[in-house]
Amino acid sequence: MALPKQIIVKESIKELKSLQKKSKALFIPRLRMLQVIKEHKEPLSKNALAKLVGVNHNSIQRWRTMYLNGGLKGLLAHKTTASAPFMFTKQEREKIYAKLSDPKSGIRGYKELLIWVEEEFGKTVKYNSLMVFCRNQFGTKIKVARKSHIKKDAKAVDAFKKTLVVSANKP
């Protein structure tokens, strides 16, 4: 059986605790790992350290290697990947929003919107990509029932209400 990795933590416990208070939630378990290592005199195995910190042993192994290679700066470095660019330009997003917001447009679902986008912008977009994009950007939902017909004449409704003699609800 192999011996646990020997790690010498250069920072003090007080310094690690103050860093924990200032840092993001992502880095708190990493700093907690260093604190536990510093508190224990004998080297701890990755499994024992994982139980004390409350994370997976693979994370402990990765963090210990990061600390050995780059120190505290290397441990607290978080490499983020750049997010993918939007599939639509700002003008195209505004047109889509206008189309979705217009009650007279008659868009009944994402399938119709997909056809409209392909005709309007000449782009081929996957159904799920368009659905997730519209849901995240504009808060749309699939096929929500309308309160009334889109082409209903407001004047005709008012005239009908004025000429109605007896209400159906009253006996």
Rounded to an integer, what distance in angstroms lies between the CA atom of residue 67 and that of residue 65? 5
Residue 110 has a CB neighbour count (10 Å cut-off) of: 21
pTM of the model: 0.49
What is the tens place of the pLDDT at every residue in 36-82? 999 988 889 999 999 999 999 999 999 999 999 999 998 888 777 66
Structure confidence at residue 117 (pLDDT): 93
Rounded to an integer, what distance in angstroms lies between the CA atom of residue 63 and that of residue 70? 10
Buried b (16+ CB within 10 A) or exposed e, 88-99: beeeebebbeeb
Structure confidence at residue 145 (pLDDT): 64
Rounded to an integer, what distance in angstroms lies between the CA atom of residue 36 and that of residue 88? 49
